[in-house]
Structure 1
Amino acid sequence: MQCQPFSLNEEVTTMPKQKLILIVGPTAVGKTALSLKLAHRFNGEVISGDSMQVYRKLDIGTAKILPQEQQGIRHHLLNVRELTEPFTVADFKRLATQAITATAKRGHQPFVVGGTGFYLQSLLRGYQLGGSASAPQPKLRAKWEHFLVVHGIQALQQAVAQVDPISARKISPGDSRRLIRALEVFETTGKPISAQTDQYNPAYQPLVIGLTTQRSVLYARINQRVDQMLAAGLLTEAKMVYQQRQQAPQASKAIGYKEFFPYFAGECTLAEAVTTVKKNSRHFAKRQLTYFRNQMATHWFDLLAQPDQLMQIEQTVVQFLND
């Protein structure tokens, strides 16, 4: 087990902090299976921390757990939006907070499980996402999207660096959505978005459990998962997204769907599209690991190589809940 020191906000509050357990890691590493085991063991409920599982009909490509697979564990933030509806980090924070509160009131332990790091950070950090800063800014977004098309991603990163160097360093290269979001927030509020992320949310006492494994093992699992998704009907699901791509801009950018668009347009073969899905999924997994290692104090485990580490995870949770 690799364990990084965990720091908590030492600010004294009048209300006890809600203990929150997060399960994070790259795609295909086993987060869902672990969440079910821990939810059974610790009387828990699961709050999804995935930006695409919120959409109805995106089941196969998002590896969404189906009702018959949930083993009686209550799950939240699945299927809460239509494909054509936007979903922001502010929406996630609001709905996740509501789910956590409701779970705790039932006397159950909240588990937040997923791989969308920025969403999870919105819970752990003191992000100020309400009001005009979090509201979509169509004109500003269009302005910077045009800037991106004309000048390229490097120029967009430089624009962010001029007004918010901290965010420019933290945002993954090529993540145009978050770069544009940083510029939106700055132009809307006059303050960098990084200024909103200095403190841990005083409402929560978090334990972050991270799953990882050797890169070769992970990449093989990702390739196998894509093949399994195809056998389960991924192509039909991707075609549905392709047909609604103009009305569903967020869903149409999701890995596992967008790579098939050239195939549907007759611009590449199916084999080429599948190869691209696997490649982009592997690259995404690498970015996920980088994010969690750099942005969260995480207790890391490799259950694929050492299944007996499940006992260590359970002991870590017991100690955390009893502390």
Structure 2
Amino acid sequence: MEPVHVNGSVHKKAKVVFIMGPTGCGKTKLSIDLATNYGGEVINSDKIQVYKGLDIVTNKATESEQRGIRHHLLGFVEDPVADFSVDEFRRRVQTSIDEITKRNCLPIIAGGSNSYIEALIEDPVIDFRNKYDCCFIWLDVSLPVLYNHVSKRVDEMVAAGLVDELREMFAPGVNYDGGIRRAIGAPEMHPYFMAEMNNNIVYDDKVRKEFLLKDGIWKTKENTCKLAERQVQKIKLLSDKWDIHRIDVTAVYENCGKEAVVAWETLVLKPSFTIVGGFLKKHG
């Protein structure tokens, strides 16, 4: 590890791995795979997943998916309308890194809020790059393939209870500009829940409600795809100034079943292990 001089004494830089990419690309899975292999802990960098609740809507990793890996900044903000600011994010990430490294574990930061990551890395007061050795991995997916995957994933989320989960949070005059209610799906489903409040059971009302339900799901898919596109554009800008390792995961989502598993292991996991293993050895 490269030494850092602090107040006249020499300290070793902590090593931090960042997993970046658009929504639905496999960031969470890779972070857990890497943490399992390298004795790491995961720090969530999704500014919506920090809130407690809406686990299906925000696509939080379930307990079984976490595979016993300790997660930080995940579902800990109890106030649904609280503002989780970038300053709070920067402060808590540094605290989490310190806790993780004291246990001689590897901090792995994963999530889709790239503006928060950029603010963390480039804040002149924090001077993050002078304190920590950073390894950036970008999971990239062909957008048409990703759009198809996102559509299927939203359908799976609906089948898992997305509508019921959102209905519990619904209120007629609710504001969707802050807190967890910014989650894609919440504002999109609002017109449907408003229609549900009408207890009339005439045919026209039933047809209208069915339309609003389908329209809310469609808009959820559409806005998730738009988010993915913005995330990719942001990462491309960051790659112009950061040394980011790009891994193409398109083949994983072009396949299914055993073929998808093999594609993940050979095209994603193997190169990721090579990248992180080399990073740890170089800065060890």
CA deviations on 1:215-266 (whole Å, 9 max, x unpaired) are: 1211111001100111111112222333283498322222121111122223
For 2:170 and 2:125, locate their aligned partners in 1 and report how far apart those are by CA, in whole Å. Answer: 34
Q: CA deviation at 1:18?
A: 1.3
Q: Which amino acid aligns with 2:271?
A: Q
Structure 1: gaps of 5 or more residues: 1-9, 130-198
1:86 aligns with 2:32: no
Between the aligned partners of 1:87 and 1:94, the Cα distance in structure 2 is 11
Q: What CA distance in whole angstroms lies between the structure 2 residues aligned with 1:303 and 1:275? A: 25
What letter is aligned with 2:105? H
| Contact 1:211–1:303 under 8 Å retained in 2 | yes
Report the AA paired with residue 301 of structure 1.
I
Q: Which stretch shows the higher mean deviation, 79-88 or 305-314?
A: 305-314
Asked if the contact 1:124/1:204 (under 8 Å) is kept, the reply is no
TM-aligned CA deviation for residue 67 of structure 1: 1.9
Aligned to 1:257: 186
**Pairs aligned (count):** 246
Amino acid corresponding to residue 20 of structure 2 in structure 1: V
Residue deviations 1:250-303 (CA, integer Å, cap 9, x gap): 222221211111222238611111111100000000000111110243211123
Per-residue Cα deviation, 1:28-67 (whole angstroms, up to 9, x for no partner)? 1111111111111111000001011111112011110122
1:125 match: 122
Aligned letter for 2:245?
H
Alignment-mate amino acid for residue 221 of structure 1: H
What corresponds to 2:216 in structure 1?
A: 273
In structure 2, do the counterparts of structure 1 residues 281 and 127 end up closer, same or farther at CA, with 3 Å as the change threshold? farther
Mapped pair 1:69 → 2:65: yes
Number of the residue aligned with 1:44: 40
Root-mean-square deviation (CA, aligned residues, Å) is: 2.4
Where in structure 2 are there 5+ consecutive unaligned residues?
A: 196-207, 252-262
**TM-score with structure 2 setting the length:** 0.80
The one of 275, 278, 282 aligned to 2:225: 282
What amino acid sits opposite 2:41 in the alignment? E
Q: Does 1:212 align with 2:149?
A: no
Q: Which residue of 265, 272, 278 corresponds with 1:313? A: 272
Which position in structure 2 is the counterpart of 1:132? none
Please list the CA deviations of residues 136-162 of structure 1 after superposition, one character each: whole Å capped at 9, or x if unmatched: xxxxxxxxxxxxxxxxxxxxxxxxxxx
2:81 and 2:181 in contact (8 A); partners too: no
- Map 1:109-124; keep pairs closer than 5 Å: 109-124=106-121
